[in-house]
Amino acid sequence: MLSFKNGPVELAYLDKGEGEPIVLVHGFASSKEANWVHPRWVHTLTHAGRRVIALDMRGHGASTKLYAPAAYHAGAMADDVRALLDHLGIGKADVMGYSMGARVTAFLALAHPERVRSATLGGLGWHLVDGAGLPDAVAEAMEAPSLADVTDPQGRTFRAFADRTKSDLRALAACIRGSRQTLSTTEIGRLEPPVLIAIGTKDEVSGPGRPLADLIPGATLVDIPDRDHMLAVGDRAYKAAVLAFLTERP
């Protein structure tokens, strides 16, 4: 397993293929395998001639588990991605995040625009500005004794997913409570890299994409037809839109 340290946190990652680099940042309760390997994103991108780098975010997968909510600030997780680029000696890369990973990608693009060639925000729309990520009910679902004890529908969805990925539930509860930062409309308007926003038409988690895209000069908005937040991740239309975007971006 490949890994590196950013301060007290050890982060696992994969590095596949050759060509222009793209860094993949997974969503909440997921991992590099669940978000990017199993849905064949790594296969798709390496076969398109890209070097694909994907990390397990802090609290997830094989990376360090932390239990203080403050450790999961979106800015701290964005710095983990910056540190990975430094570790690999990569000056600039395309970055694609999904859901929580899209929030981290936006924070990275704002803090370090010189490191982000383009930013793809999957599964995240207006809630980047108005809405602090997943609600407390999801954190409470992680802390419930079992899935059978969870009554909130969204909480049940994410708890079932976390159980399938064999996640550290206490770390995930801390992550929910600590990663709920938003960006102001002014900050969104200052994003410099080319931006693609891709959201499932049945996604009830992300918030609408159009008002976010309208704030970002030159942003591209793509609908992922008939997909909700979970099923959009590996969709063929999503992959096609990303490949086209990466080909066309400066």
> pLDDT digit string (tens) for 76-85?
999 999 999 9
pTM: 0.96
Does residue 149 surpass a pLDDT of 90? yes
Q: Is the per-residue pLDDT at 132 higher than 70?
A: no
Closest CA to 35 of 9, 13, 66: 13
56: DSSP letter: P
Q: Read off the pLDDT of residues 8-47 as tens digits, 9 standing for 90 and up.
A: 999 999 999 999 999 999 999 999 999 999 999 999 999 9
State the Cα–Cα distance between residues 235 and 66, nearest whole angstrom: 32
Rounded CA separation 126/21 (Å): 28
**3-state DSSP percent of the chain in helix, strand and coil, to 5:** 45, 20, 40
198 forms beta bridges with 122, 222
